[in-house]
Amino acid sequence: MPAAPPLDPREPHIALDALRHRHAEAGDRPTRIRVDLDALTHNLRALRAHTGVPTMGIVKANAYGHGLVPVALHLQAQGIEQLGVAFVEEGIALRQAGVTVPILVLGGIFGPQAAQFIAHDLEITVSSLSKLRQVEAAAESLGRKATVHLKIDTGMERIGVHSYSAGPFIEAAVASPWCEVKGVYSHLASADDPESPMTAQQLQRFLDACAHFERIGAPMPLRHLANSGGVLHFPQTHLDMVRPGIALYGVLPDPASRPTVDLRPALSLVSQVVYFKVVEAGHPVSYGATWAPSQNTRVVTLPIGYGDGYPRSLSSRGAVLIRGRRYPIVGRICMDQFMVDIGADGTAYNEDEAVLIGAQGDARIRCEDVALDAGTIPYEILVGLNDRIPREYRGGARTG
C-alpha cells in the first residue's frame, strides 16, 4: 500500500489521479448487500446436525433482510422441511414464486383474510376459539380443509390460548370437520439468554398443555417450540421440529447467546468511497455540527444512509472497514450519505470498497457489533436494510 502523501487542505476533492475504474455496469449502485447462499447451506446443515429434528426455516421480514424469494427458493433446494412467515402476503409471494414446501404463517390471522390462506395452501396459526371458527367458516365456503397449527401462550402474552386453559380449545380443534391439526406450538420469550429460568417454565407449561391430546385420545401433532435461542441453548426444547430464524443467517440473537453451533454470517453490506477531502481542524462535519476534528484530517463520503435502513444512531459511533483498516463514522448520518474519518495518515481513493457489515482482509465487522454500537439488537439491523439496496447472491444452487 502506498504511503499517504503529506496532508494539504488544497488537495482536490476528487483524486482523479488515484481513481480506479471498475467498469461497473451503468446504473449499478455502489452500495449493495451480498448474500452468501453457501453460508446458508452450511448453517442449515449445522443446525440440523445439532438438533436432529426437522427444521422450519423462518423467512419473515424479507428473510431477515436477505431477500424473501431467493432465500426461500434456496432453502427449498436444500430440502428444508418447512418455512415460516409472519403474514399471509409473504406466503402468497412465495407461492407465486414457485415455492412448494409447507409454509406456516406465524402471525395472528385477520378474519377476512382466512380464505386466502386456504386458497394458497398456507398453514394457519389458530390462536383462539373465535379464530378457529373463522377458519372453519372459510374452509367450508371453499370446500377445502384448512391445515392449522394451534398456538399456546406459555408466557409471552402475545397471541395464543393460555396453557392452563387450552383444553377446550384443543378439543374443539381436534373435533373440527374443516381443520386438520398439523402442529401445536408456543414461543420462547427469553431463550436468547442461556441462563434464563423462564425457558424451563415455558417448556413445562407447553408440555402440560400438549398432554391434553393424549388425555382425549387424539394423535399428537408436531410440537415445535425452539426459536434460535432455544436451538442454541436448550436442547430439551427441540421436540419434533425447530424454528431457527436469525441463527439460520449466521447471527447470534443476543450478546448473552453462546455460539454452540458453527454458524457463518450470510450477509455483507458494502459500499464504495465516492468523495474525498481534507477537513481542517475545528471545521464541523454533517448536520448539527456535532463533530469536528481536533487536527487536519482526511474524510471520505459513502453513499448510504438512514434512508437505506442504516441506523442514524450509529452517528459518530459506528465504524467501517476500508483497505482492511477500521475507521470511525463521524458526524450525523444523513438520509443518503455519511462521512468517515480516515485520519491524517489514512489512504483511501474514490471507488475503494468500504465494508459496513462483513470482512475485509483480516478485519471483520459483525452484525452483532453494529447492533451493539447502535444500541439495538441484530434483528433490527438486518430487517431494517430495505429494498433501496440491491442484493447480490453468491454460491448455492441457482433456482428461479
Q: What is the pLDDT of residues 158-171, one digit of tens each?
A: 999 999 999 999 99
pTM above 0.95, yes or no: no
Residue ranges of the chain assigned to CATH 3.20.20.10: 37-249
DSSP letters, 360-385, are ETTEEE-HHHHHHHHTS-HHHHHHH-
- The three-class DSSP label of residue 157 is coil
Pairing mode, strands 222-226 and 319-322: unpaired
Mean pLDDT of all residues in the chain? 93
Query: What is residue 286's predicted lDDT score, i.e. its pLDDT?
Result: 98
Asked if pLDDT for residue 103 goes beyond 80, the answer is yes
Asked if pLDDT for residue 6 goes beyond 80, the answer is no
- The three-class DSSP label of residue 225 is strand
Q: What is the distance between the alpha carbons of residues 176 and 270, in angstroms, rounded to a whole number?
A: 52
Q: What is the pLDDT of residues 129-140, one digit of tens each?
A: 999 999 999 999
Q: Which architecture characterizes domain 16-30+267-365 according to CATH?
A: Beta Barrel (2.40)
Cβ contacts of 89 within 8 Å, gap of 6 or more: none
Q: What is the distance between the alpha carbons of residues 178 and 182, in angstroms, rounded to a whole number?
A: 13
Q: What is the pLDDT of residues 53-92, one digit of tens each?
A: 999 999 999 999 999 999 999 999 999 999 999 999 999 9
Least confident of 120-124, 221-225, 334-338, 393-397: 393-397
Cβ contacts of 223 within 8 Å, gap of 6 or more: 183, 184, 185, 206, 210, 239, 240, 241
Query: What is residue 397's predicted lDDT score, i.e. its pLDDT?
Result: 61
Q: What is the distance between the alpha carbons of residues 79 and 165, in angstroms, rounded to a whole number?
A: 37
Query: What are the beta bridge partners of residue 83?
Result: 57, 103
Residue ranges of the chain assigned to CATH 2.40.37.10: 16-30+267-365
Task: Name the residue with cell 444452487.
Answer: 397
Q: What is the pLDDT of residues 380-396, one digit of tens each?
A: 999 999 999 999 999 98
Q: Band of the pLDDT at 12, cuts 50, 70, 90?
A: very low
325 phi, psi to nearest 5 deg: -115, 150
Can you read off the three cell numbers belonging to residue 98?
A: 414457485
Asked if pLDDT for residue 9 goes beyond 50, the answer is no
Chain Cα centroid distance, residue 364: 19
Taking domain 37-249, whether its CATH number is 3.20.20.10 is answered by: yes
Picking from 151, 142, 90, 86, the residue whose alpha carbon sits closest to that of residue 114 is 142
- The three-class DSSP label of residue 249 is helix
Asked if pLDDT for residue 295 goes beyond 90, the answer is yes
- What angle, 0 to 180 degrees and rounded to 10, lies between the N-to-C axes of helices 167-175 and 198-215? 50
- What angle, 0 to 180 degrees and rounded to 10, lies between the N-to-C axes of helices 68-77 and 88-96? 60
CA distances from 145 to 123, 138, 217 (A): 11, 9, 22
Residue of 27 and 154 predicted with greater confidence: 154
Asked if pLDDT for residue 225 goes beyond 60, the answer is yes
Asked if pLDDT for residue 20 goes beyond 80, the answer is no
- Catalytically active residues are 60, 287
Asked if pLDDT for residue 13 goes beyond 60, the answer is no
